[in-house]
């Protein structure tokens, strides 16, 4: 138990589906992140939220849409994904923007 | 030039030896540096953070930072087979937006 919980743990979706990934934190942290980890590639930062405001969008395609409704929850809305979007999606949180980040268990996404 | 560079390995050491993992970064003004361990199929786990030049020790782990050379290293003393994992170096961007950039990771194999 890391204090950062991601659901679902596994997701298979078709290219025309719409789905959402959820991240919930119980650490009282102010910053939340979405990362993508593909096979044999480094962790790719997607989005950063600080105090519920988006501070980084790392040139992510619009088929990925983040939402941070409150300081405890972060969502990643997915629509019309491509097979190359299949990856491990990781949520992380940190007390502040200059401190260490703690990761959830990840959602393994497969796009078919 | 990649923002954070690591040798992908694998780095193979015998049990009981010292494992030395290296990382260089491009943002000269970065102030926060982290080492994560990632076991296969799991999410990254924070093992060390370092913010000042010099050495920081925590149990069998020592992180070393040289900002002038833009270089961070991790030493693992008395390596154990359970230390076999991928070690990720991460650097906080100086942009103060929370951007945390990862290297591609070094795979460590500790042979009994």
Tell whether the model's pLDDT for residue B40 goes beyond 70: yes
CB B88 within 8 A of CB B36: yes
Confidence of residue A75 (pLDDT cuts 50, 70, 90): very high
CA-nearest residue of chain A to B49?
A100
- Residues in chain A with CB shorter than 8 Å from the CB of B45 are 103
Q: For residue B108, give the H/E element and its range.
A: strand B106-111
What is the C-alpha separation between A33 and A86, in angstroms, rounded?
18
Q: Do A106 and B34 touch (CB under 8 A)?
A: no
For B97, residues 6+ apart whose C-beta sits below 8 A from its C-beta are A48, A50, A55, A56, A97
B65 in A contact zone (CB under 8 Å): no
Q: Do A101 and B42 touch (CB under 8 A)?
A: no
E-state strands within chain A: 4-7, 10-13, 18-25, 31-37, 44-50, 53-57, 64-70, 73-79, 87-94, 102-103, 107-111
pLDDT of residue A41: 86
Dihedral over alpha carbons B11, B12, B16, B18 (to 10 degrees): -30
CA-nearest residue of chain A to B33?
A100
pLDDT tens profile B63-100? 999 999 999 999 999 999 999 999 999 999 877 788 88
pLDDT tens profile A9-30? 999 999 999 999 999 999 999 9
- Residues in chain A with CB shorter than 8 Å from the CB of B98 are 31, 33, 48, 50, 55-56, 94, 97-98
pLDDT of residue B97: 80
Average pLDDT score, chain A: 94
Confidence of residue A101 (pLDDT cuts 50, 70, 90): very high
CB A81 within 8 A of CB A93: no
* Among A27, A12, A17, residue whose Cα is nearest residue A74: A27
Interface test with A, best of B63, B98, B107 (most A CBs within 10 A): B98
Mean pLDDT of A82-109: 95
pLDDT of residue A15: 92
pLDDT of residue B8: 87
């Amino acid at each position: 138990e890391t204090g950062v919980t991601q659901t679902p743990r596994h997701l298979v979706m078709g290219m025309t589906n719409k789905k959402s990934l959820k991240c919930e934190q119980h650490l009282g942290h102010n910053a939340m992140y979405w990362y993508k980890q593909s096979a044999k590639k480094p962790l790719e930062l997607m989005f950063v939220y600080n105090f519920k405001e988006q501070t980084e969008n790392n040139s992510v395609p619009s088929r990925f849409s983040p939402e941070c409704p409150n300081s405890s929850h972060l969502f990643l809305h997915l629509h019309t994904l491509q097979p190359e979007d299949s990856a491990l999606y990781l949520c992380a949180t940190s007390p502040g923007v200059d401190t260490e980040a703690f990761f959830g268990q990840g959602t393994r996404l497969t796009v078919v | 030039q990649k923002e954070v560079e690591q040798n992908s390995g694998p780095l193979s050491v015998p049990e009981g030896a010292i494992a030395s993992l290296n990382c260089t970064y491009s943002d000269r003004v970065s102030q926060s540096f982290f080492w994560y361990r990632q076991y296969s199929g799991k999410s990254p786990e924070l093992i060390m953070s370092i913010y000042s030049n010099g050495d920081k020790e925590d149990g069998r782990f020592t992180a070393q930072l040289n900002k002038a050379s833009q270089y961070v290293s991790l030493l693992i003393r008395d390596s154990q087979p359970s230390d076999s994992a991928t070690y990720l170096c991460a650097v906080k961007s100086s942009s103060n937006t929370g951007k945390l950039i990862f290297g591609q990771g070094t795979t460590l194999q500790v042979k009994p």
